[in-house]
Structure 1
Amino acid sequence: MKTLLISLVLAATVHVLAAPMPKIRVAADGQTFITEDGKPFVPFGVNYYRPDTGWAPQIWKKFDVDATRNDFTVMKSLGVNCVRVFLTFGSFFTKTNALDAAGLAKFDQFLTLAEEAGIYVHPTGPDHWEGVPEWARGDRFTDEKLLSAQENFWRLFAQRYRGRNVIFAYDLLNEPVVRWNPTEGVDVLAYQRAREDIADNWTRRQVAAIKAADPSALVTVGLIQWSVPALLPGVKQYSGFRPARQAKFLDFMEVHFYPLDHKPGDFDVRNWAYLESVVREVAATGKPVVVAEFGWNRGGGEEQQARWCARAVERTAGIACGWLNWGLYDVAEARDGSQFSGLLTTNGTLKAWAREFQRLAGTLKIPKVQRRDLPMLDWDRCLVDTKAGDEFRAAYFQAVFPVAASFLYAAEGAKTVCIYDNGKVTWEYPAEMCRDAWRLPNGNVLFAYNKDYNSRHNDNPSGVMEVTPEKKVVFHFQTTGQVWSCQRLADGNTLVGAASQGKLLIVDPKGAVVKTITLKNNPGHSCLRYARGLANGNFLVAEESAKAVREYDGDGRLVREFAVDFPTFGCVRLPSGNTVISGKSAVMEVDENGKTVWRLDAAEVPQLGIRWFASVQVLPNGNLFVCNAGGTVPVFEIGRDKRVVWQTETALPIGHGVQRLDVKEAWR
């Protein structure tokens, strides 16, 4: 049901004494979090504030216990396990020598509600949202009076909440920036370094105050994305909080990100690359990284928000180990992207992003990420010249989203076989119900076709055709029944996979059948999908309904069989002797004895919306170039670390067969 039935939720909510929550720690690997009893913990949640409390939100001055309790119930149902919430001068620290009792009482209630829901709290501040007392209006980073006051705040606050395991960690401040006020003619790089010195001193002192009161507390600081100078409107926008220098004071790193790269080209893709580059630079510190604010900060509709945000999480999983969306609700009165960044609309209706968020919360795992040779930021140059950041982003974008692959595509949905270059069709030829196609070394295209196709009938006109780039037919074999595969063999003959006949047909250049191989599987629609001739003269056949790939010798004798747990589609013999098998719900590699050496299940890449792992091509680097027949992402390249390297970003007609054309050697 799309609309939350808040009254029913409230009716079903019982106020009970919450079970103690385990303390969160940094894991022994130094890259992730665990509970004190050793269970993995992935901070996944929201920055919490309520609509209709003004902008900036008056979280504590308009604190509503019942509404907040209901929000925690909703958040828990969506998979939220952590909320970041702003502390403010106006409610917690109006005097330099004491915390405000009224604010603390509300925060105590907030923690109790969080414990009841089993959700951790990540307080940040003190900040300006609810007003700033006169004494706090100076430079908080250099004014000794303000530095000491902030130390006192954290010492008192951490001491009061020592032992409250519901507190995940303290965030010293939201998006701190050291002031820019250079004298004329100053050496800009030296001045940037001086700003970094100021930031380091501030962080060191605040952390020390917390640790003195609570040595086991986790501490971080919520860095604005301009703390990584990959995109700066001007060099003065650099925050001065350099992650590599800050890391030595902090238990883990936090960075915020919003899609701000407006260079020409696909906005979504450019900003996924920009995000990844920022997170990777922060992760280079060797500490765990939480993306503590992220969100969709522009219009375009719910589906676009859901798509961008889900992929933002998936692209950074393994580099980052936690994500907190900006806002539970959209806030109509906001003057920025908060108007549409929430999981819920202002009236509590679930958005498309909420449903994607819930899916991610239930499936998200932090993979081990292999090191990649990617561009690294020239920090010193970026601090004095914004063009250096532009050049870095362009290089990084090209590295992680290379120019769209050139590939041949058996597009049954368009009744053509076609070539895509840079996302556009540059060549096509009519080919009804084509599921297998090859561009041959001579530049011609070989493909199978089925006219008047009906999956229940086995007498339709079908065959295999070869056409030149100029679209001249130079080979045409005609038969009847469903034909799903074709291949030009080394001797010049053509292998035809005739499913309706339950046979492999070897056809000479004149179109005569010179040999037949009768398959073990029953003839019909699902008898086979792809059949491939091997260098040793044998034939490898994906026999779909048998859930097997079978190898026959040149005389049709069964040599071996690889039984799997899914209907099969593709089969590729590698130079190593291993075999790659694709099908309904998985793609896998097995050795000569059928032992699995690698496997990818559809559930591991939910963002791709796998319907069928159909055609698979193994590239020279070991990556797989895959046709996802009828799925969300029609064609993609994926590494053996199960990270998507490239994917089509535009809609394609349904297809089953694909061949990458811009590689010299590959196996399919």
Structure 2
Amino acid sequence: MICPLPRFVFLLIGLAAIIQSTSGVAEETAIKHSFFVAGPVFTGIVGEDGETVWDSGRAGARDGWVLPNGNVLIAWNDVVKEFKIDAASGKNSQKTIVWQYNLDKTNKEIGTVQRLPSGLTLVTELGAKPRLMELDSEGKIQTEFPLQPETKNAHMQTRMARKLASGNYLVPHLLAFQVKEYTPSGEVVQSFATDLESLGGQAAKNWPFTAIRLENGNTVICLTNGNKVIEVDDQGKVVWSVTNEDLPGNPIDDACGGQRLPNGNTVIASYHAKVGVKLLEVTADKKIAWTYEGPNRVHHFQILTTNGQPVTGSPMK
């Protein structure tokens, strides 16, 4: 299903057109993206020209989305907020909070957020009682079950949990070296190991951070300190991977966030990078198609437009 376009996407498209018309000759083959950034210093929206379109005003975000209605949903370690913004008024536009969830103090951190087609909001908490919840518009819990991260290290228990079309949930557990699929009752029905000997075993620190279920049933997994991204089939067999050994300049430096684009390319966050490549887009044959080397470090992200055209469909991130 193609999602309706947020208002600010039309602004980004207009800005891209202006840049091309005033630059003399447009670069025919150069890829340009606008994107949302959840980062340790900056959290907001970056235009195709690399300039800030909107700034949330707070650093340290974990996860976030630009929603089909143009609102921006962001998870920090202690709170989730949904903002209604007017991007046309600039990067420091007034920010109206239309929905909020605060961390339950029995836990230590919020791990991730996702707005579901039902209108409910998926949130995970890390700590003494790691859990996944679906919350309604009033913040009341409609679904809840405990997670099984296999560690008491709250910060390393889980990251980008996502609800699947089947109704199950895909949850990466870093120190368990597993991506687990849970039912709504909390039963683990499948798991994909990431400490495979073929990938270097546990010594390679292939901690799963982002897991993306594709339409063909395969799963793309970003492995943080392992500095690699893999795609596995429904049996957990690696059918595609990309590492620094495949790319010039060792551009992957802590592969946290990831997104599979409609054209089949994979965009990877290089979270630890303070200079150089912060985001890179890699083709199926492991060629670098685009990089972002601006000032903003990237924990997770969402590609919004490509060369003035919106990225259609539900973001696979």
Q: Same fold (TM over 0.5)?
A: yes
Deviation at 1:426, TM superposition (A): 0.7
For 2:291, the equivalent position in structure 1 comes to 647
For 2:263, the equivalent position in structure 1 comes to 621
- Deviation per residue, 1:406-464 (Å, 9 max, x gap): 100112223x33333321001111234212110000000001012xxxxxxxxxxx121
Q: Does residue 1:517 correspond to 2:160, yes or no?
A: no
Structure 1 residue identity aligned to 2:69? N
Q: Does residue 1:582 correspond to 2:206, yes or no?
A: no
1:451-466 equivalences in 2 (<5 Å): 462-466=78-82
Structure 1 residue identity aligned to 2:240? W
Q: Return the structure number with greater relative CO, CA threshold 8 A, min gap 6.
A: 2
Structure 1 residue identity aligned to 2:173? E
- Deviation per residue, 1:79-130 (Å, 9 max, x gap): xxxxxxxxxxxxxxxxxxxxxxxxxxxxxxxxxxxxxxxxxxxxxxxxxxxx
Q: Determine if contact 2:228/2:244 at 8 Å carries over to the other structure.
A: yes
Q: Determine if contact 1:412/1:654 at 8 Å carries over to the other structure.
A: yes
Give the 3 Å change call, closer, same or farther, for CA 608–424 of structure 1 in structure 2.
farther
Q: Distance in 1 between matches of 2:34 and 2:72?
A: 14
Q: Determine if contact 1:568/1:583 at 8 Å carries over to the other structure.
A: yes
Length-normalised TM-score, structure 1: 0.38
For 1:506, the equivalent position in structure 2 comes to 134
- Deviation per residue, 1:242-293 (Å, 9 max, x gap): xxxxxxxxxxxxxxxxxxxxxxxxxxxxxxxxxxxxxxxxxxxxxxxxxxxx
Q: Distance in 1 between matches of 2:176 and 2:80?
A: 25
Matched residue SS, 1:661: strand
Higher Rg = 1
Pick aligned residue for 1:446 from 58, 66, 73? 73
Pick aligned residue for 1:638 from 277, 282, 307? 282
Matched residue SS, 2:281: strand
Q: Distance in 1 between matches of 2:148 and 2:291?
A: 36
Q: Distance in 2 between matches of 1:431 and 1:531?
A: 23
Matched residue SS, 1:430: coil
Q: Distance in 2 between matches of 1:603 and 1:652?
A: 25
Matched residue SS, 2:134: strand
- Deviation per residue, 1:210-267 (Å, 9 max, x gap): xxxxxxxxxxxxxxxxxxxxxxxxxxxxxxxxxxxxxxxxxxxxxxxxxxxxxxxxxx
For 1:664, the equivalent position in structure 2 comes to 312
For 2:182, the equivalent position in structure 1 comes to 552
Q: Does residue 1:426 correspond to 2:42, yes or no?
A: no
1:42-53 equivalences in 2 (<5 Å): none
For 2:237, the equivalent position in structure 1 comes to 595
Aligned residues, how many?
A: 260
Q: Distance in 1 between matches of 2:257 and 2:28?
A: 26
Q: Determine if contact 1:417/1:437 at 8 Å carries over to the other structure.
A: no
Q: Distance in 2 between matches of 1:606 and 1:498?
A: 38
Q: Distance in 1 between matches of 2:133 and 2:245?
A: 36
Deviation at 1:602, TM superposition (A): 2.7
Q: Determine if contact 1:412/1:431 at 8 Å carries over to the other structure.
A: no
Give the 3 Å change call, closer, same or farther, for CA 590–641 of structure 1 in structure 2.
same
- Deviation per residue, 1:457-476 (Å, 9 max, x gap): xxxxx121100123210000
Deviation at 1:517, TM superposition (A): 2.0
Matched residue SS, 2:156: coil
Deviation at 1:573, TM superposition (A): 0.5
Deviation at 1:608, TM superposition (A): 4.5
Q: Distance in 1 between matches of 2:121 and 2:81?
A: 10
Pick aligned residue for 1:543 from 170, 173, 189? 173
For 2:98, the equivalent position in structure 1 comes to 474
Structure 2 residue identity aligned to 1:593? Q
Q: Distance in 1 between matches of 2:62 and 2:47?
A: 16
Matched residue SS, 1:468: strand
Matched residue SS, 1:505: strand
Length-normalised TM-score, structure 2: 0.78
Deviation at 1:514, TM superposition (A): 2.3
For 1:483, the equivalent position in structure 2 comes to 110
Pick aligned residue for 2:37 from 375, 387, 409? 409
Structure 1 residue identity aligned to 2:67? L
For 2:157, the equivalent position in structure 1 comes to 527
Matched residue SS, 1:499: strand
Matched residue SS, 2:175: helix
Q: Determine if contact 2:143/2:184 at 8 Å carries over to the other structure.
A: no
- Deviation per residue, 1:522-564 (Å, 9 max, x gap): 3411000110011111000111111111100111100100001
1:333-412 equivalences in 2 (<5 Å): 397-399=27-29, 401-402=30-31, 404-412=32-40
Deviation at 1:507, TM superposition (A): 1.1
Q: Distance in 2 between matches of 1:504 and 1:595?
A: 27
Q: Distance in 1 between matches of 2:64 and 2:250?
A: 23
Q: Distance in 2 between matches of 1:428 and 1:619?
A: 24
Give the 3 Å change call, closer, same or farther, for CA 497–420 of structure 1 in structure 2.
farther
Q: Distance in 1 between matches of 2:300 and 2:47?
A: 13
For 1:569, the equivalent position in structure 2 comes to 209
Q: Distance in 2 between matches of 1:514 and 1:643?
A: 44
- Deviation per residue, 1:608-662 (Å, 9 max, x gap): 43221111111111001221112241012110111000111x4322221110111
Q: Distance in 2 between matches of 1:519 and 1:494?
A: 17
Structure 1 residue identity aligned to 2:57? P
Q: Does residue 1:435 correspond to 2:90, yes or no?
A: no
| Structure in which a larger fraction of residues adopt helix | 1
Give the 3 Å change call, closer, same or farther, for CA 420–499 of structure 1 in structure 2.
farther
Q: Determine if contact 2:34/2:45 at 8 Å carries over to the other structure.
A: no
- Deviation per residue, 1:6-32 (Å, 9 max, x gap): xxxxxxxxxxxxxxxxxxxxxxxxxxx
Give the 3 Å change call, closer, same or farther, for CA 652–484 of structure 1 in structure 2.
farther
CA RMSD of aligned residues (A): 1.7
Q: Distance in 2 between matches of 1:547 and 1:413?
A: 28
Q: Distance in 1 between matches of 2:54 and 2:48?
A: 9
Deviation at 1:483, TM superposition (A): 1.2
Structure 2 residue identity aligned to 1:477? Y
Matched residue SS, 1:603: helix
- Deviation per residue, 1:392-413 (Å, 9 max, x gap): xx57x431x22x2010011222
Q: Unpaired segments of 5 or more residues in structure 2? A: 1-23, 87-94, 196-205, 306-310
Deviation at 1:606, TM superposition (A): 4.7
Q: Unpaired segments of 5 or more residues in structure 1? A: 1-390, 451-461
For 2:124, the equivalent position in structure 1 comes to 497
Deviation at 1:487, TM superposition (A): 0.1
